[in-house]
Amino acid sequence: MTRSEEVAMTERKKLALLLMDAPYESARTTTALRLVDAAARRGLDLTVFCYEGAVALSFARQAPHANAVHGRDVAQEDHPNPKDWIAALMVQAEQSGGRLAWINCGLCVDERGVGEVAAGIGRGSPVDFWKAAEAADNTLVIPTRG
Amino acid sequence: MTGYLLIESRDPLESNDASYGYDLAAGLARQGAAVTLFLVQNGVFPARRSASTAALEAVVQAGVEVLADEFSLRERGIQGDRLPAGVAAAPIDAVIDRLVEGRKAFWL
């Protein structure tokens, strides 16, 4: 890492975001990913920590599917999978000079059997979220709702 | 005084808890804090003229900056140029702006 890169990393604003909702279940996930996108485009240093069902957002075995009702095959249906959005957001952050760290709660992962994750996804414990929040300039928790 | 960012994703007609968020925003503003209430998802519905719009207007009158996510407005067919006075359409970047600024942030 060059000196200028070190300085840029130090000066970059850090945000921590906590997600709890499982994929395909809540509009909060869409909003959260839009927030991550906005932060990534600015080149911020962003840590996303996933608890509970949100750990499945990065599950590697997500697969697009066809839609027999509408007569569309897999390619025509172009069904989106959040693991691919996360990968794209990581690339976006890097291209913008920032960083996106995506960390899953290990206990939540094991409970749900979704340990096979996409490339670049981390595993941690609640203390890692605490560390991320401590290091961040600001933190936003997006809680589940009944 | 500390500034606040409150994010409301629920329509007051689907959850009474939304009104508590409005009260919190208005109360903080009356005490002199800079407060932004960012409406997103179904939280933008009161920005369309309805029975719950008056409660939102009361929040504006308390001095709260009320922003409605323009994407959520578009999804629901609510025109940004027909919002109540004091309510402005805004991109999701407005949330990032206020987080970077250091506002205490709460997803209600």
| Percent above pLDDT 70 for chain B | 99
Q: Which of A27, A28, A38 sits opposite B96 (nearest CB)?
A: A38
User: Which pLDDT band, with edges at 50, 70 and 90, does A17 fall under?
Assistant: very high
Q: Are A56 and A104 in contact (CB under 8 A)?
A: no
Number of domains comprising chain B: 1
Q: Taking the domains of chain A in order of start, what are their residue ranges?
A: 12-142
Interface predicted TM-score (ipTM): 0.95
At B90, which amino acid appears? A
Query: B95 is in which domain, residue-wise?
Result: 4-107
Q: Look up residue A47 and give its two tokens.
A: 């840590």
Asked if pLDDT for residue B32 goes beyond 80, the answer is yes
Interface test with B, best of A15, A19, A31 (most B CBs within 10 A): A31
Q: Which of A31, A143, A145 sits opposite B40 (nearest CB)?
A: A31
pLDDT at site B61? 97
Beta strands in chain B (DSSP E): 4-8, 35-39, 65-69, 87-90, 104-107
pLDDT at site A11? 74
Single pTM value for the model: 0.93
Query: Which residue carries 């003229």 as its tokens?
Result: B49
Query: Which residue carries 């940004």 as its tokens?
Result: B80
> Which whole number is the average pLDDT over A54-68?
96
CATH number for B85: 3.40.1260.10
At B88, which amino acid appears? A
Q: What CATH number does domain A12-142 carry, 3.10.620.30, 3.40.140.10, 3.40.640.10, 3.40.1260.10?
A: 3.40.1260.10
Q: How many CA atoms lie within 13 A of A108 on its CB side?
A: 24
pLDDT at site A4? 62
Q: Are B85 and B47 in contact (CB under 8 A)?
A: no
CA-CA distance, B88 to B36, in Å (whole number)? 11
Q: Are A98 and A104 in contact (CB under 8 A)?
A: no
CB pairs under 8 A between A and B: 46
Asked if pLDDT for residue A107 goes beyond 80, the answer is yes
Residues whose CB is less than 8 angstroms from the CB of residue A90 and which lie 6 or more positions away in sequence, other chains included: A40, A100, A102, A120
Residues whose CB is less than 8 angstroms from the CB of residue A132 and which lie 6 or more positions away in sequence, other chains included: A16, A47, A49, A101, A103, A139
Interface test with B, best of A138, A142, A144, A145 (most B CBs within 10 A): A138
| Percent above pLDDT 70 for chain A | 92
pLDDT at site B70? 97
